[in-house]
Amino acid sequence: MDDRYGNKVNQVPDDYRYQGTNYEGYPPQDGYYHGGEEPSQEEDAQSDATEGHDEDDEVYEGEYQGIPHPDDIKAKQKKKAAGMAEEFRDHADLVAERMEDEEQLAHQYETIIEECSHGRFQWMLFIVLGLALMADGVEVFVVGFVLPSAEKDMCLSSSNKGMLGLIVYLGMMLGAVLWGGLADKLGRKQCLIISLSINAAFAFLSSFVQGYGFFLFCRLISGFGIGGTLPIVFAYFSEFLSREKRGEHLSWLCMFWMIGGLYASIMAWSIIPHYGWGFSMGTNYHFHSWRVFVVICSLPCIASLVALKFMPESPRFLLEIGKHDEAWMILKQVHDTNMRAKGEPERVFTVANIKTPKQIDEFIEIQSSTGTWYQRSLVRFTTTFKQVLDNILYCLTAQYRMNTLFLAIVWFTMALSYYGLIVWFPDMIRYYQEEAYKSREKNFRNEEVKHFTFNFTLENQVHKNGTYFNDKFMKMKFKDVTFEDSLFEECYFEDVTSSETFFKECTFISTVFYNTDLYEHKFIDCKFVNTTFLDQKEGCHLDFEQDNDFLIYLVSFLGSLSVLPGNIISALLMDKIGRIKMIGGSMLISAVCCFFLFFGNSESAMIGWQCLFCSTSIAAWNALDVITVELYPTHKRATAFGILNGLCKVGAILGNSIFASFVGITKVIPILLASSALVAGGLLALRLPETRDQVLM
């Protein structure tokens, strides 16, 4: 017969019925009942056959083929849909409960930090994290200081030097985003140790490599390591500070970046000019003084790395991931350390229980006993990467989208102006030096020199239509010398070195060049008759700029020192006038200072305006660091800081490239671009919410 779904349904066969005396009415031939004259037996048989069986319990023909019944499919789908809806409701409830827990924790944690007080522990952490921040400041200056010496050892062209200057910022950009994201998942201390270790290892290694490509790679990875410093350091330190201390002490912490610049300038001034400080191994390996300087510059990073081993993890981070007992022990350590330093060791830490946010398990990691080590590592990597990516996207959700957008623009405009001008100032000073040097150029026309020996330096000269007969140029140097339309006949050049020296449309007759660096590219449209080149000098064929190293170090030193007043003022006023007014006021005042650059027509004037610009703009940097920390919750704080700091490095790269391209062409575009960006960023900063009175979420 057909069931309600149109399937053929048969009665259950009786092959399994017991053949005995009690069931003689069921002949064994076919196993079915054929009727008979005994109705009582028929009724009994029907009763036995249908015992425990209803119409709804009928079996359709696909059951024994493993095909589920349509009713079962519908029931399972309804059950699954109900389960998913319940799961989504449970997840939404968990998220709401977690947000409520986080708000309670924020206020309770503020009370706990106030009970722990501000004392010895915070100052110890201040020094340790300050050394890490100092290492970041040193990293920015290292390449600029070593380039004048490294270009000679590595034979770097202008494009090579430009790439070396930018590669550090590229590494710092990538490092800021990655390490900031990881610090919110793996912990502040652990990620800071790893990032500083990478920086120290590759910075140290870069001092020994000889080739440009490997040196470039080492500085890239070194920058990648140090890029995590800013996001982690400020998030880490802020979580040990109470609301009333946070703005001031984060601003004091910013001073270590200035100290890093001073340290790099002093070390460069003391070490690099001593070119003999080093050693050589054969003719191909040279360890000159600039390499010693690179090693010395890694010391702040190493010192911070060692000291960080004795510092605890951020208790606020531990509470966010549900590690209550560990966080409580650290907070008790902070309390006891500060109380002992204040002479009150008998004071007891009164906190017994701390609110821990509801934990939401987003991923299930493969167990150590399951799969191969490769599979487990892959799962951990993909899980962590997904979590970091989710954190980045979280900063763009509706709750934080506008704040992130405004902060991104302010960070970018500040970096574009600041880093662009910081590169532009030394380039303009160098340009004024070159102009002054060219103004002292000596010109010689139609001179005739015969049977004369040149054994002294010729510098900054132009010789036109000259005739030189049987002259000797021996053990001498040409520096910025040009010969045009001149005749050299039976002359002899021996052991001659040159820089920025060229022969244009000259004629050489019966002339010998022995052991010189007058290579082919220095002869432009020249004629050679019976002229011989013997044993030319080996090495780099490029001419290098004659930099005034002392002036470079002095300009950097004064620029770093000039931010000291701005640091002090911003630290003292940060909690009094607020972060927003500090950013807007500092950027607008810096924009006004930019217009004074139109009057900078000398080296001393440019140095003075650089110091003024640095001292007024530093307050905006400090306030940006503080407000970025305070606008985001603990589990997204380092991620957001890393994203914005990475964008800052993009602005630095563009600023360096754009501003440097206008040196010697015009001052108008760099000045207008910098001032416009500062005005736009300063006005937009006023739209951000003030955070000085809020607890650390």
Q: How would DSSP label each residue in 547-566?
A: --HHHHHHHHHHHHHTHHHH
Give the least confident one: 20-24, 290-294, 320-324, 409-413.
20-24
Grade residue 508 by pLDDT with cuts at 50, 70 and 90: very high
Q: Say what the pLDDT of residue 557 is.
A: 84
In the predicted structure, residue 21 carries a pLDDT above the cut 50: no
Give the CA count within 13 Å in the CB-facing half-sphere of 596. Answer: 14
Cβ neighbours of 121 (radius 10 Å): 22
Give the least confident one: 90-99, 184-193, 459-468, 665-674.
90-99
In the predicted structure, residue 362 carries a pLDDT above the cut 80: no
In the predicted structure, residue 279 carries a pLDDT above the cut 90: no
| Structure tokens, 181 | 């994201």
Strand partners, 489: 469, 509
Contact 237, 250 (CB under 8 A): yes
Q: Which of 240, 228, 109, 99 is nearest to 173 (CA)?
A: 228
In the predicted structure, residue 10 carries a pLDDT above the cut 70: no
Q: How many Å apart are CA 244 and CA 583, to the nearest integer?
A: 19
| Alpha-carbon distance values, 588 to 19, 642, 654 (Å) | 106, 25, 21
Q: Which of 564, 617, 612, 568 is nearest to 588 (CA)?
A: 617
Q: Say what the pLDDT of residue 277 is.
A: 64
DSSP SS3 for 545: coil
Write out pLDDT tens, residues 607-618. 888 888 888 889
Write out pLDDT tens, residues 52-63. 444 444 444 444
Q: How many Å apart are CA 328 and CA 354, to the nearest integer?
A: 8
The more confident residue out of 550 and 235 is 235
Q: At what angle do helices 188-206 and 229-238 cross, to 10 degrees?
A: 150
Helix %, strand %, coil % of the chain (to 5): 60, 10, 30
Question: DSSP letter at 358?
Answer: P
Grade residue 50 by pLDDT with cuts at 50, 70 and 90: very low
Grade residue 213 by pLDDT with cuts at 50, 70 and 90: confident
Secondary structure in 3-state letters for 24-43: CCCCCCCCCCCCCCCHHHHH
Q: Say what the pLDDT of residue 210 is.
A: 81
In the predicted structure, residue 534 carries a pLDDT above the cut 60: yes
| Alpha-carbon distance values, 10 to 3, 25, 58, 60, 306 (Å) | 10, 21, 8, 8, 82
Q: At what angle do helices 289-297 and 299-308 cross, to 10 degrees?
A: 20
| Alpha-carbon distance values, 40 to 11, 47, 83, 192 (Å) | 21, 10, 52, 91
Q: Which of 285, 296, 297, 272 is nearest to 147 (CA)?
A: 272
Which residues fall within 8 angstroms of residue 276, CB to CB, at 6 or more apart?
A: 289
Give the least confident one: 93-97, 168-172, 499-503, 511-515.
93-97
Amino acid in position 339: M
Burial of 228 from C-beta contacts in 10 A (0-12 / 13-18 / 19+): buried
In the predicted structure, residue 577 carries a pLDDT above the cut 80: yes
* Arithmetic mean of pLDDT, 177-197: 90
In the predicted structure, residue 697 carries a pLDDT above the cut 90: no
Buried (b) or exposed (e) across 293-327, using 16+ Cβ within 10 A? bbebbbbbbbbbbebbeebbbbbbbbbbbebeeeb
Q: What's the whole-number average pLDDT of the chain?
A: 79
Which residues fall within 8 angstroms of residue 173, CB to CB, at 6 or more apart?
A: 227, 646, 649, 650, 653
Strand partners, 285: 281
CA angle 126/132/137 to nearest 5° reads 115
Determine what percent of the chain is predicted with pLDDT higher than 90.
Answer: 22
Q: How many Å apart are CA 445 and CA 436, to the nearest integer?
A: 22
Q: How many Å apart are CA 135 and CA 561, to the nearest integer?
A: 17
Which residues fall within 8 angstroms of residue 55, CB to CB, at 6 or more apart?
A: none
Q: Say what the pLDDT of residue 499 is.
A: 86
Q: Say what the pLDDT of residue 79 is.
A: 56
In the predicted structure, residue 554 carries a pLDDT above the cut 70: yes
Grade residue 464 by pLDDT with cuts at 50, 70 and 90: very high
Cβ neighbours of 468 (radius 10 Å): 24
Q: Say what the pLDDT of residue 196 is.
A: 93
Q: Say what the pLDDT of residue 7 is.
A: 45
Cβ neighbours of 688 (radius 10 Å): 19
In the predicted structure, residue 529 carries a pLDDT above the cut 80: yes
In the predicted structure, residue 545 carries a pLDDT above the cut 70: no
Contact 31, 13 (CB under 8 A): yes
Write out pLDDT tens, residues 420-449. 888 888 888 888 888 888 889 999 999 999
Question: DSSP letter at 366?
Answer: P
Q: Which of 344, 310, 317, 347 is nearest to 332 (CA)?
A: 347
Question: DSSP letter at 367?
Answer: P
Q: Say what the pLDDT of residue 97 is.
A: 66
Q: Say what the pLDDT of residue 242 is.
A: 85
Q: Phi first, then psi: what are they for 223, rounded to 5°?
A: -65, -35
DSSP SS3 for 211: coil
Write out pLDDT tens, residues 288-341. 778 888 889 999 999 999 999 999 998 888 888 888 888 889 888 888 888 888
Determine what percent of the chain is predicted with pLDDT higher than 70.
Answer: 79
Burial of 562 from C-beta contacts in 10 A (0-12 / 13-18 / 19+): buried
Q: Say what the pLDDT of residue 633 is.
A: 83
Grade residue 483 by pLDDT with cuts at 50, 70 and 90: very high
* Arithmetic mean of pLDDT, 554-559: 83
Secondary structure in 3-state letters for 64-119: HHCCCCHHHHHHHHHHHHHHHHHHHHHHHHHHHHHHHHHHHHHHHHHHHHHHHCCC
* Arithmetic mean of pLDDT, 656-685: 87
Q: Say what the pLDDT of residue 129 is.
A: 93
Going by their DSSP bridges, the two strands 532-534 and 502-504 should be labelled as unpaired
| Structure tokens, 19 | 């053949």
Q: What would the DSSP string read from start to end of 456-475?
A: S-EEEEEEES-EEES-EEEE
Which residues fall within 8 angstroms of residue 255, CB to CB, at 6 or more apart?
A: 130, 564, 567, 571
Which residues fall within 8 angstroms of residue 457, CB to CB, at 6 or more apart?
A: 476, 477, 478, 479
Q: How many Å apart are CA 596 and CA 671, to the nearest integer?
A: 9
Q: Say what the pLDDT of residue 46 is.
A: 45
Question: DSSP letter at 241?
Answer: S
Q: Phi first, then psi: what are they for 423, rounded to 5°?
A: -80, -35
In the predicted structure, residue 33 carries a pLDDT above the cut 50: no
Q: Say what the pLDDT of residue 356 is.
A: 72
Q: How many Å apart are CA 232 and CA 183, to the nearest integer?
A: 7
In the predicted structure, residue 39 carries a pLDDT above the cut 60: no
Q: Say what the pLDDT of residue 252 is.
A: 92
Which residues fall within 8 angstroms of residue 50, CB to CB, at 6 or more apart?
A: none
Strand partners, 533: 513
* Arithmetic mean of pLDDT, 514-539: 88
Q: Say what the pLDDT of residue 431 is.
A: 82
Q: Say what the pLDDT of residue 62 is.
A: 47
Amino acid in position 113: I
Q: What would the DSSP string read from start to end of 162-195?
A: HHHHHHHHHHHHHHHHHHHHHHHHH-HHHHHHHH
In the predicted structure, residue 527 carries a pLDDT above the cut 90: yes
The more confident residue out of 406 and 400 is 406
Ranked by mean pLDDT, the top range of 2-11, 644-653, 664-673 is 644-653
Q: Say what the pLDDT of residue 22 is.
A: 41
> Residue with structure tokens 């890239």?
220
Length of the chain: 697
| Structure tokens, 83 | 């389960």
In the predicted structure, residue 494 carries a pLDDT above the cut 50: yes
Strand partners, 502: 482
Grade residue 469 by pLDDT with cuts at 50, 70 and 90: very high
The more confident residue out of 343 and 124 is 124
Contact 240, 611 (CB under 8 A): no
